[in-house]
Amino acid sequence: MRYLVIPAYEPDEKLLNLLKDLQSYQSLTIVVVNDGSTSSYNPIFEAASQFSTVLCHKQNYGKGRALKTAFSYITNIKNTLGEGIVITADSDGQHTPYDIFKVGKACEDNPNTLITGERYFTGNVPFRSRFGNTITKYVFSLSTGLSLKDTQCGLRAFSTELLPFLCSIKGERYEYEMNVLLEGAKKIPIKGVPIETVYIDGNRSSHFHPLKDAIKIYKEIFKFAMSSIIGFCVDYIGYALLIFLLAPVPVEIRLIIANIIARLCSATVNYCLNKKFVFKDNQSVFTTGSKYALLACSILVLNTCIILLLNQLGIGNLYFAKLVAELLLFLLSWSIQKHFIFLKQHSNHS
């Protein structure tokens, strides 16, 4: 059995055209979720009900909640209709019937794998779509070690056995789809399937808010950045003060002493912030603290070597050299802390 989920907020005729085009495909149960659209859109959903089951939210909760509402509904009916695969697609005409079934077939050929459509962003693609996907795919790669060409595509497919796991993932709006990839990468294979890139009217019908939804998607790295900024301020102020106070000491010795003492202070502050507020880790201080100490020592050695190297290359301003070294090591530190130090523990979904 194939189940198709289409979350919809204030859709237009493109939703109805998609539903009509899908009628020629057999063994497809379609679930449309009206995510709190105003009453003026009732005719669209009434027409959609001829081709699908329409579930309604009383208010606009967001795409993530709409998907989970449909997933819960399918969990209840699959006992009668049977297990199978679930395909999710957008309501704005970006996903063709051919690609919907192409992704579904790929899921059937790759059991227990999360299949996601991969657009190649060639031709006349809106800037915000191209830019947003470029940033997100690199953040995803740094977060998981996996490479996907498209992390924002709403066309996905997976086994009904994954429904409990997907319903447990946090997120109400667009950040939910990124959370699915981030959490799924820890538990199940993820495979991209090439699909057509379709943008209608410059993608004006999209309800994605670049600033508000980007903050939700990237909130973990934003929190880590703020924690790092606080730690950097402690580190840099201590470093600058010690460089000034140790002025009579030879430059190499002064640099090493200042860097070590400042880093010990900032590392303590940074560890506490990351453990409690960024990664919300519940492991013992000994478990994470020992690994963090090893990372801090390694970063300190690399940091000092970079500053010394820059100094040897002619950058005599030790304050500027320190800034360059910190920027170079920021993403390395974040990736290691996320994957090896504050690694969240999850129960099996099966």
pLDDT of residue 127: 52
- Please, what is the average pLDDT of the chain? 84
Q: Count CB-CB contacts under 10 A for residue 121.
A: 15
pLDDT band at residue 350 using 50, 70 and 90 as cut-offs: very low
- What is the Cα–Cα distance from 198 to 82, expressed in whole angstroms? 32
- What is the Cα–Cα distance from 223 to 202, expressed in whole angstroms? 32
Tens digits of residue pLDDT in 119-151: 875 555 555 555 556 666 676 776 677 778 888
Taking 70 as the threshold, does the pLDDT of residue 344 lie above it?
no
Which residues lie below 8 Å from residue 327, measured CB to CB, with a gap of 6+? none
Residues counted in the chain: 350
Q: Which two tokens stand for residue 298?
A: 């390694």
In contact, 169 and 67? CB cutoff 8 Å: no
Tens digits of residue pLDDT in 221-232: 667 668 878 988
pLDDT band at residue 111 using 50, 70 and 90 as cut-offs: confident
pTM above 0.85, yes or no: no
Tens digits of residue pLDDT in 286-339: 888 888 899 889 988 998 899 889 988 888 788 888 888 888 888 788 778 876
Taking 60 as the threshold, does the pLDDT of residue 213 lie above it?
no
Angle at 29 between CA 201 and CA 196, to 5 degrees: 35
Taking 70 as the threshold, does the pLDDT of residue 263 lie above it?
yes
pLDDT of residue 45: 97
pLDDT of residue 202: 44
In terms of phi and psi (left: phi > 0; alpha: psi -120 to 50; beta: otherwise), the region of 27 is left
